[in-house]
Structure formats: C-alpha cells, structure tokens
Amino acid sequence: MTDQPLMPNPSVDQRLLGNLRRARLEMAESGLQFDEVLARFDEEIRQQKLKRVQKSLSLVNEQSFSA
C-alpha cells in the first residue's frame, strides 16, 4: 500500500465542474422565473385593489349625487 493520495483524472474534475456550473445556472434561472411569478401575482393583487377602490369611489360618488 502506498501513502500517496489518489489524484482523480483531470477529465473527471472538468466534467464535475461543468455539472456544478450548469446546476448553479439552472438554479439561478429557476429563481428568476420564481421572481417573475411573484411579480405577476403582486401586479394582479394591485389591480384587484385598484378595482375595489374605484368601485367604492364610484358608489360614494353616486350616493353624494343622489342625496
């Protein structure tokens, strides 16, 4: 037996490094896609709130004109 550490094949290192880089980029892409979904939900919520406020304002205006 030898006390010398076994050095992996450099091509294995390159393949593993490439896999890690690809995985990191895929995770970054997923994070950005998730951010986009959240932004769309936020916009939808803002639009719903705006419609409710406009409807309430319309009702208030109708009541003030009929009084």
- Do the domain assignments include residue 3? no
Its domain, for residue 28, covers 11-67
pTM of the model: 0.66
Sign of CA dihedral 56, 57, 58, 59: positive
What pLDDT is recorded for position 62?
83
Low-confidence ranges of the chain (pLDDT < 50): none
What domain count does the chain have?
A: 1
Sign of CA dihedral 46, 52, 53, 58: positive
- Do the domain assignments include residue 2? no
- Do the domain assignments include residue 6? no
What pLDDT is recorded for position 1?
55
- Do the domain assignments include residue 47? yes
- Do the domain assignments include residue 55? yes
